């Protein structure tokens, strides 16, 4: 299922997306959330973790072995949600 959620700032897009991703994880499917900035990605990731979801973070600031580790865990299905910036579009293995 591919969906694009659009709305004004502060309208609850992130909450709606998180609820949909939580539902998908209950069905065994992974989800990706692409956000415009690293700051937003690093803010949202802990919120998803508090909800009991396995979360990976992938942004332009994550490089080298750490990036390889994130992609390896993603490919092995060791996560429910990956949250990142436009880097998600360019990541080999995803």
- pLDDT tens digits for range 7-50: 999 999 888 988 888 888 888 878 889 899 999 999 999 988 88
pTM here is 0.79
Q: Write down all domains in the chain, each with its CATH number in brackets.
A: 13-90 (3.40.50.300)
Cβ neighbours for 46, distance < 8 A, ≥ 6 positions apart: none
Q: What tens digit of pLDDT does each residue of 45-84 get?
A: 998 888 888 999 999 888 889 988 988 888 888 888 999 9
Contacting residues for 29 by C-beta, under 8 A, at least 6 apart? none
Kindly provide the residue ranges of all beta strands, DSSP E only, lying in the chain, ordered along the sequence. 31-34, 55-58, 81-84
Return the SS3 of 25.
helix
What pLDDT score was predicted for residue 26? 85
- Report the helix count and the strand count for the chain, using DSSP H and E: 4, 3
* Of 75, 1, 77, 17, nearest in space to 51 by CA: 17
């Amino acid at each position: 299922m591919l969906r694009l959620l659009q709305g004004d700032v502060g309208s609850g897009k992130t909450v709606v997306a998180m609820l949909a991703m939580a539902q998908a994880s209950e069905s065994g499917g992974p989800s990706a959330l692409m956000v415009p900035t690293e700051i937003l990605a690093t803010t949202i990731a802990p919120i998803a973790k508090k909800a009991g979801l396995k979360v990976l973070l992938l942004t332009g600031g994550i490089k080298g072995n750490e990036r390889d580790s994130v992609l390896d865990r993603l490919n092995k299905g060791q996560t429910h949600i990956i949250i990142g910036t436009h880097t998600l579009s360019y990541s080999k293995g995803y």
